[in-house]
Structure 1
Amino acid sequence: MHSDAFETLADPTRRRILAALRGGEQQVNAIVEQAGIHQSGVSRHLRILHEAGFVSVRQDGQRRLYALRPEPFRELEAWLAEYRRLWEARLDRFGDALEQRRKDAADHKETDR
């Protein structure tokens, strides 16, 4: 997992392009319509996403079709999973402490009656 992946994904226009490609393989013009920027900007961002490994390009006659590549997203998921486990364990302990506090308060309330 490279920090370059996060730098690549930090740009909101690139994230819009990736969102546009979630529906499947598309030509630049279709991505331009969805991303809301000029064709030259989309092409520049697609080049960056391609170099970073997030998208693939396939030539189909005169058309260039772009699609998401799953591998970098799997790498991101694996990297994030380590941190998710850390936070889930902490949240579980916090939940247990809250539950114990609730039980203690209920027991205290019972003994005050």
Structure 2
Amino acid sequence: MHAFDVLGDPVRRRILELLADGEQSSGAITTVIHAEFGISQPAVSQHLKVLRDNGFATVRPSGSRRLYAVDDTALREADEWLSRFRRFWAPHLAAMATEVARGKRERRLAASDDFRST
């Protein structure tokens, strides 16, 4: 399965977002995913299996629990593939950062002027 096939599923993307915050038990993952997507524990287990089998997550036993974490292997491969396309959005992101900084500066100066006039 290609990385983007795995990441194309919103449930798997959400699971990876949860794991990006740190190691999670399968129960904790299931609680969030069930609340957000309304899917069962067996369905969540299948998504976790796809993530493990395709290099996006690892699992380790801890007593009776199974703890999942991000495995960056497949993410690094996807990032490498995307690297040839960054030139299309990097200038736009840099321009946006410049505009955000300019807006912050203008607000800071306006606030300073307001403070002086009082």
TM-score normalised over the length of structure 1 = 0.70
The CA distance in 1 between the partners of 2:89 and 2:10, in whole Å, is 28
Give the match for residue 54 of structure 1: 56
For the residue of structure 2 that corresponds to 1:53, the secondary structure is coil
Structure index of larger Rg: 1
Give the match for residue 21 of structure 2: 23
Q: Percent identity?
A: 45
The CA distance in 2 between the partners of 1:8 and 1:70, in whole Å, is 14
In the comparison of the two structures, how many residue pairs are matched? 89
User: After TM superposition, which residue ranges in structure 1, 4 or more long, deviate above 4 angstroms?
Assistant: none
The CA distance in 2 between the partners of 1:26 and 1:38, in whole Å, is 17
Go from structure 1 to structure 2 and tell me whether the alpha carbon gap of 1:59 and 1:83 turns closer, same or farther (over 3 Å shift): same
* Contact 2:55–2:72 under 8 Å retained in 1: no
TM-score normalised over the length of structure 2 = 0.67
The CA distance in 1 between the partners of 2:89 and 2:13, in whole Å, is 27
Structure 1 unaligned blocks of 5 or more: 93-113
Letter in 2 for 1:16: R
Structure 2 unaligned blocks of 5 or more: 93-118
* Cα deviation code 1:24-55 (max 9, x no counterpart): 11111100122123211110100011100100
The alignment yields a C-alpha RMSD, in angstroms, of 2.1
The CA distance in 2 between the partners of 1:23 and 1:77, in whole Å, is 19
For the residue of structure 2 that corresponds to 1:24, the secondary structure is coil
Give the match for residue 72 of structure 1: 74
